[in-house]
Chain A
Amino acid sequence: MISVSTLLCDHGADGNRLRYDIDTGTETPVTDRAQRRPVVVWNTTNRCNLKCVHCYAGAESEPKDGELTTAEGKRLLDDLADYGVPVVLFSGGEPMVREDLEELVAYAADAGIRPVLSTNGTLLTADRARGLKRAGLAYAGVSVDGLAELNDEFRGVDGAFQAAVEGIETCLDVGLKTGLRYTVTGQNVDDLDGVVDLLTDVGLDRFCFYHLSYSGRGEDLSSVDLDAAERRDVVKRICDRTLRSHRRGDEIETLLVGNYADAAYIVEYARREFGEDTARRIYERLEQNGGDPAGERVAAVDCLGNVHPTQFWRTYSLGNVRDRSFADVWEDDSNPLLQAVRNRPENLTGRCADCRYKEICRGGSRLRALADGNGLFGPDPQCYLEEDERRGALPPASAD
């Protein structure tokens, strides 16, 4: 997760404010111990009330046999708390279909974990929003992927857009911090500004833009993904929009998620907008942040207990929390893939190997590199940096 608003509009911010790597609703500094532990995405169920064409989990209308029960979930949360996990993101499927969600959220909060939610928003009634708030939920990220017509087409259910917007309004009404999650593709890129304008009017002030992950049903959509020029253009629009808002005095938060070429782009953008000194300070903050977090600062546990290097990397599991503790799985130094992924700047190949931004990008998504046939350490096909941006000394050339 890259906070565009913090990097471009709050130049004096502490680098720790960037530490979280998924949309957790905060950039508050966390403790040293917690910073070494991953944020954990728990896909609590495979069941969903919508049928999104780009669902990375490949969710369906029914739960899977063997999903972690309430009791197992609580033992998992104990396990994560003992390990020092700072944040659990309750996800799915659609986590709101679990009737024990409030109970699990409360249990996480009591255990000292910050509970946050990723939801399609359509089930956020006033009662449930209040219940979640009472349980200690710290943040709800609500997915909307276009204006009404396109969003409902994406979501596979008529009325999903209206229900999600009402869900956002309900969260804001009960005082629950809420943000937008918008996955940008070639199909919905033109709706982006309209959605942000509409939700700004509703009162939302946090906007997270996701790049498409080639996972689950999203794997089949790689052909409608943005090309490099389109991606560059939309990221520029997001940066421009963020700057304009802050210059007007609107303290909106804008974040980019899922493609660390964005980190390099923002350094280049800052150099053009503010000059070399600011670009260098932004580079240093991004270097602290660490680049693509897969296998390091983000982990995922799926509905059957499998542990994945990220929530998107569904086809490979490091182990299962029913067999051994999450900490034992995550700290298993004998796993050569995990070790290599954690040392990836040394292992990157192709155009990434000599890219000056590889320390703040770390090659981007290994999953997309694999899906595109580039190998485990090959380039991420979503990299949109131009040749002259990748070349040169570190950090930005004239900052030396």
Chain B
Amino acid sequence: MAESTRRRLDSDDRAPHGSEFEVFVRSDGDDPMRHVGSVRADDADGAYELASRLFAWHANDVWICPSGDVARYTTHELADEASTVDRPVDGEEPRNREWS
């Protein structure tokens, strides 16, 4: 993988109205959860209901997470309000969190 500088994006809610909830689904128990976008609702129950209407035909499992609770680190450079984060020092990261 390319060694690029990552930046941390804001962690505010991303809904102009209501609240945004990230949606993860899987169709079979042995599949990984897959991020499939986000839904906008007043609360978690409303978000689950909407996500179910969109993905129930496909997914056995539906997880939702408040969008503002996700810490995002990205190499994509569009956001102004993003601070560069230091690259972890080699050898101090466990392999499953390796930077590159």
Hey, which bits of chain A sit against chain B, CB under 8 A?
46, 57-58, 64-66, 69, 71-72, 75-76, 79, 216, 302-306, 314-325, 334-337, 340, 370, 375-377
Please report the C-alpha to C-alpha distance between residue A302 and residue B37 in the assembled complex, in whole angstroms. 14
Interface set of B (CB-CB < 8 Å, partner A): 9-10, 12, 14-17, 20, 25, 27, 34, 36-41, 50, 53-55, 57-59, 72, 74, 76-82
In contact, A302 and B58 (Cβ under 8 angstroms): no
A58 and B17 contact, CB distance less than 8 A: yes
In the bound assembly, the distance between CA atoms of A315 and B40 in angstroms comes to: 5
Contact B25 A336 (CB under 8 A): yes
Partner of A316 from the list B12, B54, B76 (CB cut-off 8 Å) is: B54
A235 to B72, CA, bound (A): 48
B residues in contact with A58, CB < 8 Å: 16-17
| Contacting residues, chain A, for B79 (C-beta < 8 A) | 72, 305, 322
Instruction: Kindly name the residue among A303, A314, A318, A336 whose own CB sees the greatest number of chain B CB atoms within 10 A.
Output: A336
CB distance from B72 to the nearest CB of A (A): 6
Smallest Cβ-Cβ distance to A337: which chain B residue:
B54
Q: Is the CB of B38 within 8 A of A317?
A: yes
Closest to A45 in B: B16
Q: How far is the CA of A306 from the CA of B67 in the complex (A)?
A: 12
Interchain CB contact under 8 A, B74 and A376: no
B20: chain A residues at CB < 8 Å are 306, 317
Query: Hey, which chain B residues are within 8 Å of A303, CB to CB?
Result: 16
- Partner of A322 from the list B9, B38, B53 (CB cut-off 8 Å) is B9
Smallest beta-carbon distance A43→chain B, Å: 8
Q: Are B76 and A325 in contact (CB under 8 A)?
A: yes
Given A69-B80, A75-B78, A322-B78, A337:B55 Cβ within 8 A: yes
